[in-house]
């Protein structure tokens, strides 16, 4: 039976790819279909990473969960102005948001690696200078 097709019992089955990349089959009941028909909050943009109050691009999810066959309920928070909202958004909008979060994570990890390298280089330089100055004694270890 194709995903999203009603069963004789009134259930809906859909294969869903979670933001983590894991794929699962989800069974929806009538109550989930009604909930999914609720509109998303009014926004001028479908870019969930942009704050509706201060336009900061640092908005992140506090919580997200499925809200029907084609939608996600996402709670968002802006660390800049403390704005937060919970809304129901389409799979495409959440996929774009997830990609933006992945890009941000990659940037943070890259910056962290550069910082760690700079700190280690500085520590090595100080250690070498202490060795050359014979400032280290066996009891220092």
From first to last of its 141 residues, the chain has per-residue pLDDT tens of: 444 455 556 666 667 666 667 777 666 665 444 444 444 444 446 799 999 999 999 999 999 999 888 899 999 999 989 999 999 999 999 999 999 999 999 998 998 998 898 889 888 988 889 888 988 888 887
Report pLDDT for 134.
87
Q: How far apart are CA 96 and CA 22, in angstroms?
A: 17
Q: Is residue 100 part of a domain?
A: yes
- What is the distance between the alpha carbons of residues 57 and 134, in angstroms, rounded to a whole number? 51
In a domain, 93, yes or no: yes
The answer to the question of residue 4 being in a domain is no
Assess if residue 6 is contained within a domain. no
Please list, in sequence order, all residues whose beta carbon lies within 8 angstroms of the beta carbon of residue 75, skipping any fewer than 6 positions away. 61, 62, 63, 64, 84, 85, 86
**Domains identified in the chain, total number:** 1
State the pairing for strand pair 71-77/23-28: unpaired
Q: Is 35 part of any domain?
A: yes
2 belongs to a structural domain:
no
């Amino acid at each position: 039976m194709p995903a999203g097709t009603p069963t004789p019992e009134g259930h809906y089955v859909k294969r869903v790819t979670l933001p983590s990349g894991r794929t699962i089959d989800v069974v929806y009941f009538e109550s989930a279909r009604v909930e999914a028909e609720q509109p998303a909050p009014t926004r001028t943009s479908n870019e969930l990473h942009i704050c509706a109050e201060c336009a900061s691009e640092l908005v992140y999810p506090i919580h997200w969960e499925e809200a029907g066959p084609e939608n996600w309920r996402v709670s968002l928070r802006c660390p800049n102005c403390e704005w937060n909202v919970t809304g129901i958004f389409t799979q495409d909008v959440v996929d774009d948001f997830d990609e933006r979060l992945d890009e941000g994570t990659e940037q943070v990890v890259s910056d962290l690696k550069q910082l760690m390298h700079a700190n280690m280089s500085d520590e090595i330089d100080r250690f070498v200078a202490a060795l050359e100055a014979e400032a280290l004694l066996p009891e220092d270890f």
